[in-house]
Structure 1
Amino acid sequence: MTLIDFLIEPFGLDFMLRALATTLIASVVCAVLSCWLVLIGWSLMGDAVSHAVLPGVVLAYVIGAPFALGAVVFGFLAVGLIGAVRDTSRIKEDAAIGIVFTSLFALGLVLISVTPSHVDLNHIIFGNLLGVSRSELVQVAALGAIALLVLAAKNRDFTLYAFDPTHAHALGINPRLLGATLLGLLALTSVVALQAVGVVLVVAMLIVPGATAYLLTDRFQRMLLIAPAISILCAVIGLYSSYYLDTASGGMVVLSQGAVFALVYLFAPRHGLIGRRLAAMRRKRANTRVRSASTQAGRPASAQVSRRRARAER
C-alpha cells in the first residue's frame, strides 16, 4: 500500500466522510469554547452540562423529536438548576454542580433502562461517530455555526469577563449575563460533541484542547488559534487510528488529545515540566559562563602576564 492509498482509503467511504465532518466541527467548536472554560475555571461545569443532557436525549427519542432539541433543553435546565441551588441555599457551586449533574445523569440511565427501543440508546453515552446520519450532521453543523458566531461576536466581552469580571462591570457590561450566555453556549456545544464522542467523553473535548494551548502560550488570542489547530490534528489522527486499528473512533480522538497534552505538559518550552528544567539548566550554564568571564576580566594584568610566561616556558 502506497502512502497515498493509506491516506485516501478511509475516506472513500461515505460514513467515514460524515464522521470526519462531524468530528472536525465538534473539535473546533469545543476547542474554541474550552479556552474560556480553562481560564474561568469551569472544567467541572463542562462535565456537569455534558452529562446532564442525557435524559433530554432519551426523552427526545421517546416523543420522536430531534436528539439535539432534548439535549439543549436539558443542558439549559441543568445550568438553571445549578444556579438556583447555589443562589438560594448555603450549598456552594461545586456541590451544586455535583448534585445536579449526577442526579440528571442517573435519570438518563434510568430512562434508557425502561425505554423500549429498537435502537441501542447506549451510543448516546459512548458515542456513535461512524453511525452519524446526514440529518444529524446537518444538526451538528447548524448548532456549531451558531455557537461559533456568538463566540466570535462576543469575543472581547467574554475575554474581559474571564480575566476581570469587576472591570467588565465597571465598563457597563453585565457579568451575570455574560456568564449565563457562556453557560448556554456550553450546553449547545455539548450537544454538538455528543454526536461525536458521547456523553462520557464530551468533557475531554471541552477541556483538553484549551488546557494544552494554555501551556503553549501566554496570549489568549493565540490560544484561540492553537486550541482548534491541535483539536483538528487530533481528530484526523484519531479517525485514521480507529480505522486501521479497528478501535472506537470517539475514544481514539480523545485519546489523541490526551497524548498531545501529555507531550506538551512535558516538553512545552516555557511551561512544560521537562522544558522548564532544561531552560533552567541553560540559564544556569549561561550565568556560570558570564561569571567566569567577569572573573577573568577582573584579574590583575600581572597575573595574566605570569600565566602567559608559565605557558611559554612549558
Structure 2
Amino acid sequence: MNATLDFLTAPWEHVFMQRAFAVAVMCGIVSGVVGSHVVLRGMAFIGDAVSHAVFPGVAIAFVLHLDLVLGGAAAGLLTALAVAVFSQNRRLKEDSVIGVFFAAAFGLGIVVLSTAPGYSGSLESFLFGQILGISDSDVLTVAVTGLVLLLVSGAVHRELVTVSLDRETARAAGLPVLALDVVLYALVTVTVVISLQAVGNILVLALLITPAACARLLTDRIGVMMVLAPAIGAASATAGLYLSYAYNLAAGGLIVLVVTGVFVLCWLFAPRHGLIASGRRRLGYSEVVLQQ
C-alpha cells in the first residue's frame, strides 16, 4: 500500500514533474479534440505532414536565433494555407497535395540547416521532446494556446463534422468549405507545435491520432468520441510520465507507447467494433446459417 502511494505521490514533489504533468495533460486534451476531426476526415497523414511542415520554420528560427516554436508555427500555418488552397482543385486528392507541399517544406528545412554547422544537438529537444525541461512560461503558453484551440474547435464543431462527412453536401448547403479547411489545418498545426515539447517532432503524430482512433473504436457517437479522445490522451500522457519517472526512461517515447497500448486494447476488446466482438458476431451469424 505504501509503495503504491509513494509511486503516485513521489513525482509531484518535484516542480519539473508538476510542469510536465500540466503540459502533458493539456496537450493530451487538445490533441484528442483536434485529432478527432482529423480521424473523422480520414486525414491521419496530415499530422505527420504538419510535423514536417513546421521544420523549415524551426530551422530558420534557429539560424536567426529566434523562438523555435513561433518559427515552426508560422511555417506550418503558411504551408497549411497553401495546401487548403491547392486542394480545392478536386482533380487532385487532398493527400496528394499534402505530400507535395509538406515534403517540399521539409526539404527546405534541411537546406536551411545545412548553412548552420553544429545544429543537431540544439534541435534534439525539437525532434524528441523535452517535457521534463519546460519552464513556467512554457506551461502558460500551452495553457493559453490550448484554451484558444478548444474554443475555436467548439465554435466550428458542427461545420467541421459536416465537411468531414460529405464535402459536396456541405458546399451545396452554403458552408465555406475552403475557410473550414484552413481552420482545420490551422488547428492541427498549432496543436502539433504546442505538443512538440511533450513528445517531439518525430512522435507527435501518435498523440494527435491514436487517442481519437481509440475513441472511434469505442463509440459511434461523435459527441462521445469528442469526450473519450481527450480523456484517453490525457490519461495516457499521465501514465507515460509516471513510468518515465519510475524507470528513468524517455518520457515522450513512453507516452506514445502507453497510448499505443490503449489502442491495441481497444482494437481487441471494444464492445462493438473490437476484434473479439466482431468475431463473436461472425460466429453467431455462421451458426444461424448452419441451422437454416
TM-score normalised to structure 1 length: 0.84
Partner in structure 1 of residue 267 of structure 2: 265
Residue 133 of structure 1 is matched in structure 2 by: 135
Of 259-268 and 50-59, more deviation after overlay is shown by 50-59
2:95 aligns to what SS in structure 1?
Answer: helix
Structure 1's 250 and 151: CA in aligned 2 closer, same or farther, altered over 3 A? Answer: same
Question: Pairwise mapping of residues 6-17 of structure 1 onto structure 2 (< 5 A)?
Answer: 6-17=7-18
Q: How does 1:57-206 map to 2 (within 5 A)?
A: 57-83=58-84, 86=87, 92-112=93-113, 114-115=115-116, 120-206=122-208
RMSD: 2.6
Distance, in Å, in 2 between the alignment partners of 1:68 and 1:177 is: 24
Aligned equivalent of 1:26? 27
Return the alpha-carbon distance in structure 2 between the equivalents of residues 92 and 284 of structure 1. Answer: 39
Q: Which residue of 2 aligns with 1:235?
A: 237
| Structure 2: segments with no counterpart, 5+ residues | none
Contact persistence 2:36–2:225 (CA under 8 A): yes
Q: Which range moves more in the overlay, 159-168 or 237-246?
A: 159-168
Corresponding letter in the other structure for 2:69: A
Measured in 2, the distance between the counterparts of 1:209 and 1:250 equals: 15
Match status 1:47 vs 2:52: no
SS at match of 1:270: coil
Distance in 2 of aligned mates of 1:2 and 1:32 = 35
SS in 1 for 2:81: helix
How far the C-alpha of 1:223 sits from its partner, in A, is 0.4
Q: Indicate if the aligned counterparts of 1:209 and 1:257 stay in contact, CA closer than 8 A.
A: yes
Q: Which has the higher contact order (CA 8 A, sep 6+)?
A: 2
Q: Would you say the 8 A contact 2:27–2:234 is kept in 1? A: no
Cα distance in 2 for partners of 1:140, 1:236 equals 16
Is residue 250 of structure 2 the alignment partner of residue 248 of structure 1? Answer: yes
The CA distance in 1 between the partners of 2:270 and 2:239, in whole Å, is 21
The AA in structure 1 aligned to 2:170 is: A
Please say if residues 29 and 148 of structure 1, whose CA atoms lie closer than 8 Å, have aligned partners that are also in contact. Answer: yes
| Aligned equivalents of 1:252, 1:166: Cα separation in 2 | 41
Q: Which residue of 2 is the match for residue 2 of structure 1?
A: 3
From the CA coordinates, give the structure whose radius of gyration is larger.
1
2:15 and 2:91 map into 1 onto residues whose CA distance is: 53
Structure 2 counterpart SS, 1:218: coil
Query: In the alignment, is the contact (CA less than 8 A) between 2:149 and 2:187 conserved in 1?
Result: yes
**Given that residues 84 and 181 in structure 2 are in contact (C-alpha distance below 8 angstroms), is that contact kept between their aligned partners in structure 1?**
no
Structure 1 residues 108 and 118: CA distance shift in structure 2, 3 A: closer
Is the contact made by 1:140 and 1:195 (CA closer than 8 Å) also made in structure 2?
no
- Give the 3-state SS of the residue equivalent to 1:53 in structure 2: helix
Deviates more, 1:245-254 or 1:162-171: 162-171
Provide the aligned length of Structure 1 versus Structure 2.
290
Shift of 1:62: 3.7
1: CA distance, partners of 2:105 / 2:38? 22
Q: Is the 8 A contact 2:25 2:237 kept in 1?
A: yes
Measured in 1, the distance between the counterparts of 2:188 and 2:15 equals: 30
Counterparts of 1:218 and 1:11 in 2: how far apart (Å)?
Answer: 37
Distance in 2, matches of 1:89 and 1:229, equals 36
What SS does the corresponding residue of 1:2 show, helix, strand or coil?
helix
Q: 1:23: Cα distance to partner?
A: 0.9
Partner of 1:278: 280
Structure 1 SS opposite 2:122: coil
TM-score by length of 2: 0.90
> Aligned equivalents of 1:230 and 1:30: distance in 2?
10
Q: Quick check: 1:217 aligned with 2:219?
A: yes
Contact 1:54-1:124 at 8 Å conserved across structures: no
